[in-house]
Structure 1
Amino acid sequence: MALPVLHALEDCADFSQAVTPFLPQLYALPARVLGVLAGRESLLQLYTETNPLISGFAISVFLGAVFLVVAEINRNYSQVDRAWSLLPTLYIAHFDAWARLAGLPSQRIDAALLFSAIWSTRLTYNYWRKGGYGVGHEDYRWEIIRQQVPKAVFHVFNWTFISFIQSILLFMIAAPVYTILLASTIEPNLTSADIASVAIELGLILTEYIADEQQWAYQSAKKQYKDSAKVPRGFKQADLDRGFITSGLWGYSRHPNFAAEQSIWFFLYQWSCYASKTLYNWAGVGPSFLTLLFQGSTWLTELITAGKYPEYRDYQQSVGMFAPAGFSVYKAPAAAVKAAPRVIRTSDLAKKLQQKEKQKKPKQK
């Protein structure tokens, strides 16, 4: 049997019943894969006879090894980053395909796959337009970490966290769908709670989309301002000179897109709790670790940003990192508005260059 025989919804979230009995399949999987390669059994047979949680976890471990090898060969450590927006949805699609092949109800998993596919499409596009899939592109934070630790330590960091742990994490944030799959064997029909859950997920994706669009518009305007010394329509010079966005959703949260991202996967876990009629369950490990990961990566990002822009520390004190610190929008300190900038503005440099060029023209004649 590839699935446990359960009689109560609460059992679907019980690790000892839903997961433990199938751990031996994980240990036996390498030998069975070799059997498929040798032609002793079919791949479809292996797939349907293996518990979907076990096979999904095994795939994440295998991909971790792929990410490790590619990263070490290319000396580029953003391999997982390139797959980040795709893998959770592929894992949910895996649960959906397995249920269909096993002849199990899949309506509730279809609903989860719907929101996840939309999430993947949006996030993949956003990563692409920022150049994430360009040849040689790498998250700038990896280079900073490489400079701060010994080479051997960084390689160990890649062998563990960057390649394997992150790969497994991308499976674990999708793992709550396994609980929903089990619950569907007892309560197969799509419920109003499932529809409400999808609506909430779509609302969170919309929030993340709005935040990213606001950030993209600001960064595009800042680049245009830097290149031409002209303030684009809809923006103020003081805002662009500040160097970071503080308007829209960013006036209430320093990272509204990150807040929405964490909420998306935490709510999927809550959906699995509701489906299994439990207050909490083992599937919370994934979204919990994701939250810890965002805490660390955001801390590093802000440390870098605060070193570049003097006003950022005031922004940190006034605006919450993820959740709003209050109902009022961020306002720049009066001293920051009146005082002259501590560094030469990009616009001033551009204007000086233009003046020099004008002065040179008569001489050239």
Structure 2
Amino acid sequence: MAIPLVHALEDCADYSKAVGPFIPQLYDLPAKLLDVFAGRESLLNVYTETNPLISGFAISVFLGAVFLVVAEINRNYSQIDRCWSLLPTLYVAHFDAWARLHGLPTQRIDVALLFSAVWSTRLTYNYWRKGGYGIGHEDYRWEIVRQHVPKAVFHVFNWTFISFIQSILLFMIAAPVYTILLASTIEPDVTSADLAYLAIELGLVLTEYIADEQQWVYQSAKQLYKGSAKVPRGFKQADLDRGFITSGLWGFSRHPNFAAEQSIWFLLYQWSCYASKTLYSWAGIGPSFLILLFQGSTWLTELITAGKYPEYPEYQRNVGMFAPSGFLTYKPPAPKAPKVIRTSELAKKQQQEQKQQKQK
């Protein structure tokens, strides 16, 4: 079988036993696929005889090439964004399907697949309603980046990070399920801890949904206000004039949806650590890189936002980027009162001007 024969849970997270021995399969895979195209081999046989971590990684590399070609042809660099909400769940389903084909226990993988499917549904819906699947839609940040870097540099950036690295990342954040798959060969039954992880994961997805809904309602009201100059019910003119939301979850975190997103995949990694009775493992590479990616992308987003809205720097000083900086919600600064000039002050100023004229 194309997975290690493990005797201890700790072995399931051991790179030298669970991953290293199967790396050569990655080098052999192109030749096997050529045999499939030539009719000398069955695709199903190649799939079942290849370690699922290796085949999943190979799929992510292939998709990276697809994203690269489509992006360069269309000069649109949000191709991977259209698949972002789907691929991690498809990779989890890949581990589930591979285990089923080999008659391995899948109960614990099914639990992980359940939360991932709910995550995909929420994110896909939110991306769709914002027009993400519309023809020609592209993340506005790419246009800004293109304006500040040489054309050749941006193409290299697309060939490396945008297309391939992000594609591999979407596999790596789902890779902890491989550890759960191996652990299921020793402990196949769903435990109370698995259900606890599921509950927390679903709670984080709910947090994302609430944050996105609050943002959607605010942005919809702002667009209506811009078009009609009428303040929609439930909003104040000052809130809409500000240009960005500061209420609800956004009063405690500048990016509550991003905070939940990072937590979701880091928790899946922790889930795999619990299943393998280890404190850490190689499976943390994907979630760790995702956190670093969010640091960079959020910095760019806030740099753009601070340049558009005068109050945003004040918001940044008082509200944490991801984690709340306090227990109190954000309070907008009080508007500056206009300076009142008394009549006596005007008369005094006129007398001074008249005195200066006489001296001349």
Give TM-score scaled by structure 1 length.
Answer: 0.92
1:260 corresponds to: 260
Distance in 1 of aligned mates of 2:267 and 2:113: 14
Structure 2: tracts of 5 or more residues without a match: 339-360
Runs of at least 4 residues of structure 1 off by over 2 A?
337-340
1:36 to 2:36 alignment:
yes
Deviation at 1:41, TM superposition (A): 1.0
2:237 corresponds to: 237
Structure 2 counterparts to residues 263-302 of structure 1, below 5 A: 263-302=263-302
Deviation at 1:333, TM superposition (A): 1.3
1:312-362 Cα distance to aligned partner (Å, 9 max, x none) = 00000000000000001000112xx2368xxxxxxxxxxxxxxxxxxxxxx
Letter in 2 for 1:160: T
Q: What is the DSSP-based 3-state SS (H/G/I as helix, E as strand, rest coil) of the residue aligned with 1:89?
A: helix
Distance in 2 of aligned mates of 1:222 and 1:338: 23
1:233-282 Cα distance to aligned partner (Å, 9 max, x none) = 00000000000000000000000000000000000000000000000110
1:95-120 Cα distance to aligned partner (Å, 9 max, x none) = 00000001000000000000000000
User: What is the number of equivalent residue pairs in this alignment?
Assistant: 338
Deviation at 1:225, TM superposition (A): 0.4
Q: What is the DSSP-based 3-state SS (H/G/I as helix, E as strand, rest coil) of the residue aligned with 2:66?
A: helix
1:11 to 2:16 alignment:
no
2:330 corresponds to: 330
1:194 to 2:194 alignment:
yes
Q: What is the DSSP-based 3-state SS (H/G/I as helix, E as strand, rest coil) of the residue aligned with 1:138?
A: coil
1:70-98 Cα distance to aligned partner (Å, 9 max, x none) = 00000000001010000000000000000
Distance in 2 of aligned mates of 1:15 and 1:305: 42
Structure 2 counterparts to residues 302-313 of structure 1, below 5 A: 302-313=302-313
Letter in 2 for 1:109: I
Q: What is the DSSP-based 3-state SS (H/G/I as helix, E as strand, rest coil) of the residue aligned with 1:84?
A: coil
1:350 corresponds to: none
CA RMSD in angstroms comes to 0.7
Identical amino acids, percent of aligned pairs: 86
Distance in 2 of aligned mates of 1:218 and 1:230: 14
Distance in 1 of aligned mates of 2:336 and 2:36: 72
Distance in 2 of aligned mates of 1:130 and 1:339: 39
Distance in 2 of aligned mates of 1:148 and 1:179: 42
Structure 1: tracts of 5 or more residues without a match: 341-365
1:352 corresponds to: none
Letter in 1 for 2:100: R
Letter in 2 for 1:25: Q
Distance in 1 of aligned mates of 2:177 and 2:224: 44
Q: What is the DSSP-based 3-state SS (H/G/I as helix, E as strand, rest coil) of the residue aligned with 1:279?
A: coil
Letter in 2 for 1:220: S
Distance in 1 of aligned mates of 2:51 and 2:208: 34
2:81 corresponds to: 81
1:46-72 Cα distance to aligned partner (Å, 9 max, x none) = 000000000000000000000000000
Structure 2 counterparts to residues 211-230 of structure 1, below 5 A: 211-230=211-230
Distance in 1 of aligned mates of 2:193 and 2:104: 20
1:162 to 2:167 alignment:
no
Q: What is the DSSP-based 3-state SS (H/G/I as helix, E as strand, rest coil) of the residue aligned with 1:338?
A: coil
1:145-191 Cα distance to aligned partner (Å, 9 max, x none) = 11100000000000000000000000000000000000000001111
Distance in 2 of aligned mates of 1:122 and 1:84: 12
